[in-house]
């Protein structure tokens, strides 16, 4: 008698028929998207399409209301979960414009965030410093970075590199990169691309949803699937060649 085949693992992130509204009315009008373990998905679209709304809704931002549909993380419906609970469960968002927090060092912030992610009340300072030193070297960050106040006086590239450092130490299941290429020159963009690849090499199962306007970031990350979001809906999905087509033709053909 043969033993039954194991049940397939659920996708890391599954967005089902998601409708989201804000003060100005409906923004997302039925988004379906699935990210499996180890996959990189890119979401492209014009201004006002709802890309950052989707990122905010995935993390439970209070400015957005889910009016229909659901968000599943590793098979669990997290649609009604608070933002911090989603983060502890393994959903990570790299912000387009990271906030500065004066008086809180990068080390202090990461120590608290790691404790929350691991469900421990205490994470030793030594553990954090060892991991930070290792990853700052891999990401080409100066050692003084650890004692600086979070994002205080950081350049655009330093802020984005700090987001990648957080992603490395917090070990999420899924990382959502909300226009992480915004405002970066080509050298800084390459640094971010190398950083994401370094994190994925350490954790090959990490799922990535990269939200972007342009193909520059995708040249660094090389997505498995590209989705086009237009007027609150995913209107097309395909391989990297879809991003190239958009670069040449724009979005008018999908409106």
List alpha helices for the chain, DSSP H.
51-58, 83-89, 106-118, 125-138, 156-170, 186-202, 216-221, 240-249
Mind spelling out the 3-state secondary structure of 176-209? Answer: EEECCCCCCCHHHHHHHHHHHHHHHHHCCCCEEE
Instruction: Report strand pairing: 149-150 vs 25-35.
Output: unpaired
Residue 219 above 70 pLDDT?
yes
Q: Span 13-254: which CATH code?
A: 3.40.50.300
Q: Is the dihedral of CA 62, 69, 176, 221 positive or negative?
A: negative
Residue 121 above 70 pLDDT?
no
Percentage of residues of the chain with pLDDT beyond 90: 50
- pLDDT value at position 227? 97
- pLDDT value at position 154? 80
- pLDDT value at position 3? 52
Q: Are 49 and 229 in contact (CB under 8 A)?
A: yes
Least Cα distance to 106 among 74, 139, 62, 80 occurs for: 139
Residue length of the chain? 255
Instruction: Report strand pairing: 225-230 vs 40-44.
Output: parallel
- pLDDT value at position 96? 73
Give the tens place of pLDDT for each residue, 9-51: 789 999 999 999 998 899 999 999 999 999 999 999 998 899 9
Q: Is the pTM for the entire model greater than 0.85?
A: yes
Residue 99 above 80 pLDDT?
no
- pLDDT value at position 7? 52
Give the tens place of pLDDT for each residue, 41-98: 999 999 889 999 999 999 999 999 999 999 999 999 999 999 999 999 999 998 777 7
Choice among 104-118, 174-188, 200-214, 241-255 with the minimum mean pLDDT? 174-188
Residue 106 above 60 pLDDT?
yes
Give the tens place of pLDDT for each residue, 184-215: 777 777 878 888 899 999 999 999 999 987 78
Residue 217 above 70 pLDDT?
yes
Report the alpha-carbon angle 23-27-31, nearest 5.
145
Kindly indicate the confidence band of residue 235, based on its pLDDT and cuts at 50, 70 and 90: very high
| Angstrom distance (rounded) from CA 184 to CA 27 | 27
Higher-confidence residue of 216 and 78: namely: 78
| Angstrom distance (rounded) from CA 125 to CA 216 | 37
Name the average pLDDT for the chain: 88
Residue 4 above 80 pLDDT?
no
- pLDDT value at position 19? 98
Domain edges within the chain: 13-254
**Residue 36 neighbours by CB distance under 10 Å:** 17
């Amino acid at each position: 008698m043969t033993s039954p085949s194991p049940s397939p693992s659920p996708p890391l992130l599954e967005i089902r028929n998601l409708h989201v509204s804000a003060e100005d009315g409906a923004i997302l009008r039925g988004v379906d998207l699935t990210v499996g373990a180890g996959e990189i998905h890119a979401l492209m679209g014009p201004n006002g399409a709802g890309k950052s709304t989707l990122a905010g809704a995935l993390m439970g931002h209070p400015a957005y209301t889910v009016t229909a549909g659901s968000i599943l993380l590793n098979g669990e419906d997290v649609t009604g979960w608070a933002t911090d609970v989603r983060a502890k469960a393994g959903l990570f968002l790299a912000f387009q414009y990271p906030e500065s927090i004066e008086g809180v060092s990068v080390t202090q912030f990461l120590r608290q965030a790691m404790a929350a992610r691991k469900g421990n009340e205490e994470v030793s300072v030594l553990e954090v410093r060892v991991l930070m030193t290792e990853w700052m070297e891999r990401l080409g960050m100066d050692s003084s970075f650890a004692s600086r106040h979070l994002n205080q006086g950081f350049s655009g590239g330093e802020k984005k590199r700090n987001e990648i450092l957080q992603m490395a130490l917090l070990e999420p299941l899924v990382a959502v990169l909300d226009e992480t290429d915004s405002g970066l020159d080509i050298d800084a963009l390459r640094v971010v691309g190398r950083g994401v690849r370094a994190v994925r090499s350490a954790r090959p199962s990490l799922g990535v949803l990269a939200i972007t306007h342009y193909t520059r970031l995708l040249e660094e990350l090389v997505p498995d699937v590209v989705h086009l979001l237009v007027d609150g809906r995913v209107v097309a999905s395909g391989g990297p060649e879809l991003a190239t087509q958009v670069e040449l033709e724009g979005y008018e053909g999908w409106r």
